[in-house]
Amino acid sequence: MSGATPTTSGATAAAVSNLMVRLFNDYAGRGPVRARSYIDGDLVCIVVEDTLTKGEHSLLEDGRDDLVLATRRAYQSAMREDAIAGVEELTGRKVRAFLSDNHLAPDVAVECFVLEPEDR
């Protein structure tokens, strides 16, 4: 990231957060309770919290962390095209890369988009 202070408010960041909440809800049946987007230069990063479904919590109680993480990766793969298209529309820039990962305890996920440089 550049030396500039990341943008955490504003219409674009709010719209990106809302997009990701909607996509999680559409694909997993439950959206995150909290979502916050950070936009700085060529990076858009969304931190979402409390995303796991009741069924996923049950699997965690049974020690099936691997299955929950595999399920989350499958959701993220399925929503990849919609997420990229939405971020491109909202930012007016092409996405070069989409990276996503989950942490189970606490229930936090990150969705990061690397954008093409503006001068291209």
Q: pLDDT digits over 12-40, tens only? A: 999 999 999 999 999 999 989 999 999 99
Structure confidence at residue 10 (pLDDT): 83
Structure confidence at residue 119 (pLDDT): 75
Looking at the chain, the whole-number percentage of residues with pLDDT higher than 70 is 92
- For residues 29-54, average pLDDT: 95
Angle between helices 11-28 and 65-91 (to 10 degrees): 140
Q: With respect to residue 1, please indicate whether it lies within any of the assigned structural domains.
A: no
Q: For all residues of the chain together, what is the average pLDDT?
A: 91
Number of structural domains, the chain?
Answer: 1
Length of the chain: 120
Q: With respect to residue 4, please indicate whether it lies within any of the assigned structural domains.
A: no
More confident residue, 52 or 2: 52
pTM: 0.87
Query: What whole-number distance in Å separates Cα of residue 11 and Cα of residue 90?
Result: 9
Q: Which residues span the domain enclosing 82? A: 11-115
Query: What whole-number distance in Å separates Cα of residue 53 and Cα of residue 117?
Result: 37
Q: With respect to residue 25, please indicate whether it lies within any of the assigned structural domains.
A: yes
